[in-house]
Amino acid sequence: MITIIDYGMGNLRSAQKAFEFLGFEAEITDNKTAILAAEKIVLPGVGAFADAMSNLNSSGISNVIKKKTADGTPFLGICLGMQLVFDVSYEGGEFEGLGLIKGEIKRFDLPAEYKVPHIGWNKLNTTDNILFSEIDEDIYTYFVHSYHAVTQDKDAVIATSNYGTEFTAAVNKDNIFATQFHPEKSGDKGLKMLRNFAKI
Amino acid sequence: MLTKRIIPCLDVHEGRVVKGINFVNLQDAGDPVEIAKAYNKAGADEIVFLDITASSDKRDIMLEVVEKTAEEVFIPLTVGGGIRTVEDFRRILRVGADKISINSTALKNPQLISDAAWKFGSQCVVVAIDAKQNSDGTWNAYIEGGRKDFGIDAVNWAQQAEKLGAGEILLTSMDCDGTKEGYDIELTKAVSESVNIPVIASGGAGKLEHFADVCIKGKADAVLAASLFHYNELSIAQVKEYMKSQGIPVRV
Q: State the ipTM, two decimals.
A: 0.92
Q: Which residue of A has its CA nearest to B118?
A: A47
> What's the N-to-C CA distance of chain B in angstroms?
13
In chain B, pLDDT over 90 holds for what percent of residues?
Answer: 79
Contacts of A50 in chain B (CB under 8 A): none
Any residues with CB less than 8 A from the CB of B94 and at least 6 apart, and which?
A11, A13
B193 touches chain A (CB under 8 A): no
Whether A79 sits among the annotated catalytic residues: the reply is yes
Min CA distance, A70 vs chain B (Å)? 31
> What's the N-to-C CA distance of chain A in angstroms?
12
**C-beta separation of A85 from B187 below 8 A:** no
Smallest CA-to-CA distance from A141 within A117, A174, A119 is with A119
- pLDDT at A151 (0 to 100): 97
B146 touches chain A (CB under 8 A): no
From residue A56, alpha-carbon distances to A65, A81, A95, B221, B250 in Å are: 9, 11, 13, 35, 38
Distance, C-alpha B62 to centroid of its chain: 17
Across B5-52, the runs of DSSP E, i.e. the strands, are 5-13, 16-17, 47-51
Residue B251 within any structural domain of the chain:
no
d(CA B175, CA A43): 46
Which of the residues in chain A have pLDDT under 50? none
Q: Which residue of A has its CA nearest to B167?
A: A117
Smallest CA-to-CA distance from A176 within A40, A31, A7 is with A40
d(CA A187, CA B3): 15
In chain B, pLDDT over 70 holds for what percent of residues?
Answer: 96
Name beta bridge partners: B48. B9, B78
Name beta bridge partners: A29. A5
**B74 vs A11, A163, A184: nearest CB:** A184
Q: Say yes or no to pLDDT of B146 above 80.
A: yes
Contacts of A120 in chain B (CB under 8 A): 2-5, 45, 198, 221-222
Residue B163 within any structural domain of the chain:
yes
Smallest CA-to-CA distance from B35 within B45, B48, B53, B21 is with B21
A190 touches chain B (CB under 8 A): yes
CA angle B114, B191, B52 (to 5 degrees): 60
Cβ-defined contact of B123 to A46 (cutoff 8 Å): yes
Residue B24 within any structural domain of the chain:
yes
Smallest CA-to-CA distance from B61 within B32, B39, B101 is with B32
Active-site position among A79, A91, A104, A145: A79
Contacts of A21 in chain B (CB under 8 A): 71-72, 74
B162 touches chain A (CB under 8 A): no
Whether A182 sits among the annotated catalytic residues: the reply is yes
- pLDDT at B21 (0 to 100): 54
Q: Name the band, by pLDDT with cuts 50, 70 and 90, for residue B26.
A: low
A186 touches chain B (CB under 8 A): yes
Q: Say yes or no to pLDDT of B7 above 80.
A: yes
Phi and psi torsions of B105, nearest 5° = -60, -35
Residue B119 within any structural domain of the chain:
yes
- pLDDT at A47 (0 to 100): 81
Domain with B77, as residue range(s), is 5-245
**A162 vs B1, B96, B98: nearest CB:** B1
Residue B250 within any structural domain of the chain:
no
Please write the tens of the pLDDT for every residue from A36-67. Answer: 999 999 999 888 899 899 999 999 999 999 99
Q: Which residue has the higher pLDDT, B24 or A113?
A: A113
- Which domains can be identified in chain A, with CATH numbers? 2-198 (3.40.50.880)
Residue B199 within any structural domain of the chain:
yes
Cβ-defined contact of A138 to B221 (cutoff 8 Å): no
- pLDDT at A180 (0 to 100): 98
- What's the mean pLDDT in B193-203? 96
d(CA A62, CA A47): 17
Which of A119, A165, A180 is most worth mutating to test chain B (most B CB atoms within 10 A of its CB)? A119
Q: Say yes or no to pLDDT of B22 above 70.
A: no
- pLDDT at B27 (0 to 100): 61
**A120 vs B5, B95, B122: nearest CB:** B5
Q: Name the band, by pLDDT with cuts 50, 70 and 90, for residue B23.
A: low
Task: Give the total number of structural domains in chain B.
Answer: 1
A50 touches chain B (CB under 8 A): no
Residue B252 within any structural domain of the chain:
no
Instruction: Kindly report the CATH number assigned to the domain that includes residue B94.
Output: 3.20.20.70
pTM for this structure?
0.94
Residue B79 within any structural domain of the chain:
yes
